[in-house]
Chain A
């Protein structure tokens, strides 16, 4: 028995296992949608985070990652979170999952007391703040703020909106209705649809009857393609603003070519525009180099998650409590998309300052004039 143990120790040295432990481990639990509807964004986020690891990483620490798939399902997300958060060796958790799954995890966050950096755009992720959960991307209210400010700048008075009948869509319309009067806008139509719907004629007929100056379309995925086609087929001439999530490879492929969407507007985080338009062009260049290609939106998000992690680790003792406290102290931390700020009351992270109204030109977003 003793001889077997000695052999095992020798073998461990020979395989180099012990030198690997010479570096202090920093263990990150990742819950990501590796299957289901959110697979694409989750994968892009991980690519962006890996680019940060390549460009920055955590000097002096060995990052160990344990990943679980939530199958784009809130129940699976909660189960995966319980499993990962129960592991005492986990220092920090990332949630690269949709808003509704993040909300499912939020209700458990304080139970396990592990700092969490989360994706998702729903306002309720960041406010009211859970002490242990930190969101990154701006909230829905920030995107709607940029939309209403743009409408005001252009002198539009009447806006119509079509949104999904889910939490995200309803948050959009609630915020739009609240913000519109402040910029002299009137919401003349607020239509909804189910994410599985294939026929949008009724909603668009009502929007046409309301005679808006500007239309906001909150559809993503298949609904975004079908509504955009329907707007074109029914001959709408008004400027159309869509949600950032609508734009992607599938959208352009379904329309026939990227040029088919020319002129379409969307409020986007500044990192998407790249180069000088990015909130921090130096960080953007680092990300692009590490990634080896032109980044897409969720790459920039993943890179920003890495930058936030870097700050928290550098400014804490590495314990769960220490990391949480460091995260809450972040104020105007430079990131690709825009400065990140957390307060005790607001764990949103980035805000409207990180958003620019963009316009598509041959599939590439450029700042709208």
Chain B
């Protein structure tokens, strides 16, 4: 296959990967501060999309629709933390994680009832046109997805590296107990991170909706692939999680294009499996040695 085919597979893969990357980032941030894997993360992408598309269909101007969706994402993130996680902060991890699964189901159900079962569309921010690059045809909206992702990642980098709350998040990721002893208000920080994660995922959902539509059941797929990205980052490194998310988007596109569309998901999860086995040391120490530990 020639270069144009390569580019045709790469660029849309990157677009999808941007959403996975932002979901993965949300997973990592929440896990670092609260110690909880928030399985509702993908649902915020879905909610951002359906809220913005619905608002847009009601004649609300695009910037307002986008702002509304981000606000809803942030507020729901806060509500999730305050109402469902804060009361059980000292409960075992599996209870807290199960609660996030329950929240995901509730959010899906509410979206179905509120916005209906049909996919919602939204016009592209700069029209529904396409552009050609390297012989490949790409939707104009992809530029918005890439731009918004780059902007959010840059903002997140600045936040984590150059602000006090960001440093506190990093401190929590290194040692939550020690960070608390040093005066970090982990409870308040958890609330803040859930708001940021919800709003970021919602924005990702908004920018990608003109390309992929918004549907009440779309959150699961984003959540799962973002989760894989977060695993690649060991739920610790935001950078690796983002790269993992981007990589998964590109990998599934290449797998479908160069191997077979039927093996797309098998390859993505196969890579995850191989990564976990390698990381677990099964190829270095051998299975028997690991079992004996």
Contact = CB atoms under 8 A, between A and B. Distances in A.
B5 A253 contact: no
B119 A225 contact: yes
Interface in B160-179: none
Contact of B5 (A197, A199, A205, A225): A205
B8 A205 contact: yes
Interface string B1-42: 100010011001101100000000000000000000000000
B264 interface: yes
Contacts of A184: none
A203 B137 contact: no
A191 B261 CA distance: 6
A89 interface: no
Interface in B195-236: 208, 211-213, 215, 217-218, 220-221
B190 interface: no
Interface string A220-260: 01100110000001110000000000001110011000000
A250 B119 CA distance: 7
Nearest to B12: A201
Chain B, interface residues (CB within 8 Å), range: 35 or more
A25 B12 CA distance: 59
A276 B284 CA distance: 74
Contact of B261 (A40, A192, A235, A250): A192
Nearest to B122: A254
B211 to A, nearest CB: 7
Interface in B28-85: none
Chain B CB count within 10 A is highest, among A36, A197, A199, for A199
A15 interface: no
A199 B8 CA distance: 11
B106 to A, nearest CB: 15
B126 to A, nearest CB: 15
A198 B16 CA distance: 8
B121 A194 contact: no
Contacts of A250: 118-119
Contact of B257 (A205, A226, A235, A248): A205
B274 interface: no
A234 B5 CA distance: 12
Contacts of A209: 1, 5
B117 A201 contact: no
A37 interface: yes
Given A191-B261, A233-B130, A37 B9 contact: no
Contact of B213 (A193, A205, A222, A234): A222
Interface in A150-197: 165, 191-194, 196-197
Given A206-B261, A250-B119, 7 more contacts: A191-B261, A194-B264, A196-B220, A198-B211, A199-B13, A221-B119, A234-B137
Interface of B: 1, 5, 8-9, 12-13, 15-16, 112, 117-119, 121, 130, 137, 139, 208, 211-213, 215, 217-218, 220-221, 249, 252-257, 260-262, 264-265
Q: 10 tightest CB-CB pairs across the interface, nearest first?
A: A202-B256, A202-B257, A250-B118, A198-B212, A196-B221, A201-B12, A254-B121, A222-B119, A191-B261, A192-B262
